[in-house]
């Protein structure tokens, strides 16, 4: 039977590359995109490369959009959900940040993941080996943020890093509550080498390709039925929370 995955924010960047790589493996890939035009363009590129790609209009900040996406995919079991859509916010320091900024970042990176996960859980439960991969960041790790050798330790922003820390905790809490579904966290970079993947989110300043950046995502998407749950991994392996 064909494996199926839904990837949020798959119209570009790491989400698109994860869709391309799963398509290459023969999976049916549901391509989440909040903008239909950008999503159609991405699906056309994926299909041109031979992938079985299906557009799923999906804005993770909207309950209605998530419900419509669930209806669209409803016919199938879903083997893997990749919560990839992310918003970096505006890099505002703690003393200047506003509740509006926090809300905008959390709405995508935190509440969005819960909306989408809870919406798709009934479809995941139809799979023999359901897996959820949440895309976080080294910035969501207390171990990384408190390491003075990490550049991010001296970048004084609040919204994005704390949203990813919340996402890490959310992943562990889901994993504990639902052992029959695997919930893991992937971060795209090589944290110890201070490397991340070049995408629009970072102005393409990353040193890794999107293919390298999706290695941890693919690894956790492809775990088998006795694979891990509640882990946090980057490209090189397990990462401290």
Q: Which of 30, 160, 174, 182 is catalytic?
A: 160
Compare residues 26 and 209 and give the one whose CB is closer to ligand NAP. Answer: 209
Q: Is 12 assigned a catalytic role? A: no
Is residue 200 a contact partner of residue 208, using CB atoms and an 8 Å limit? Answer: no
Which residues inside 53-112 make contact with ligand NAP, applying CB under 6 A?
58-61, 84-87, 108, 112
- The minimum distance between CB 189 and ligand NAP, in angstroms, equals 5
Residue 219 interacts with ligand NAP (CB under 6 A)?
Answer: no
Q: Examine the residue annotation and report whether 160 is marked as an active-site residue of this protein.
A: yes
Rounded to 5°, angle at Cα 99 from 94 and 103: 110
Give 38 or 156: the residue with its C-beta nearer to ligand NAP.
38
Task: Give the whole-angstrom CA distance, residue 232 versus residue 36.
Answer: 32
Site string for ligand NAP, 176-215 (x = CB under 6 A): -----------xxx------xx-xxxx---x------x--
List 164, 174, 182, 195, catalytic entry: 164
Residues paired with 237 in a beta bridge: 234
The residue among 87 and 106 lying less far from ligand NAP, judged by its C-beta, is 87
What are the residues facing 56 on neighbouring strands? 32
Minimum distance of ligand NAP from residue 169's CB (angstroms):
16
Supply angle C-alpha 89, 15, 76, rounded to 5: 125
The residue among 125 and 155 lying less far from ligand NAP, judged by its C-beta, is 155
Q: Which of 5, 6, 7, 14 binds ligand NAP (CB under 6 A)?
A: 14
Least Å from the CB of residue 62 to ligand NAP: 8
23-42 residues near ligand NAP, rule: CB under 6 A: 34-35, 38
Distance CA 33, CA 130 (A): 22
Active-site positions read 160, 164
Binding residues for ligand NAP, rule: CB under 6 A, are 8-9, 11-15, 34-35, 38, 58-61, 84-87, 108, 112, 135, 137, 187-189, 196-197, 199-202, 206, 213
């Amino acid at each position: 039977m064909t494996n199926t995955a839904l990837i949020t924010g798959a119209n570009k960047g790491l989400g698109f590359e994860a869709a391309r790589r799963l398509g290459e493996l023969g999976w049916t890939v549901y391509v989440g995109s909040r903008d239909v035009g950008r999503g159609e363009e991405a699906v056309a590129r994926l299909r041109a490369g031979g992938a079985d790609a299906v557009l799923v209009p999906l804005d993770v900040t909207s309950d209605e959009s998530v419900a419509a996406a669930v209806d669209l995919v409803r016919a199938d079991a879903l083997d893997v959900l990749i919560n990839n859509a992310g918003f970096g916010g505006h890099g505002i320091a703690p003393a200047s940040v506003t509740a509006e900024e926090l809300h905008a970042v959390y709405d995508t990176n935190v509440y969005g993941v819960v909306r989408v996960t809870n919406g798709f859980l009934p479809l995941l439960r139809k799979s023999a080996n359901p897996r959820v991969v949440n895309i976080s960041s080294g910035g969501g790790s207390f171990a990384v943020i408190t390491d003075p050798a990490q550049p991010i330790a001296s970048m004084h922003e609040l919204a994005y890093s704390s949203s990813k820390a919340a996402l890490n905790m959310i992943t562990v809490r889901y994993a504990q509550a639902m052992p029959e579904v695997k919930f893991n966290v992937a971060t795209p970079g090589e944290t110890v080498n201070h490397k991340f993947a070049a995408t629009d989110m970072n102005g393409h300043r990353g040193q890794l390709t999107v293919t390298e950046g999706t290695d941890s995502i693919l690894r956790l998407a492809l775990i088998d039925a006795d694979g891990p749950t509640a882990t946090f991994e980057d490209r090189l392996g397990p990462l401290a929370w």
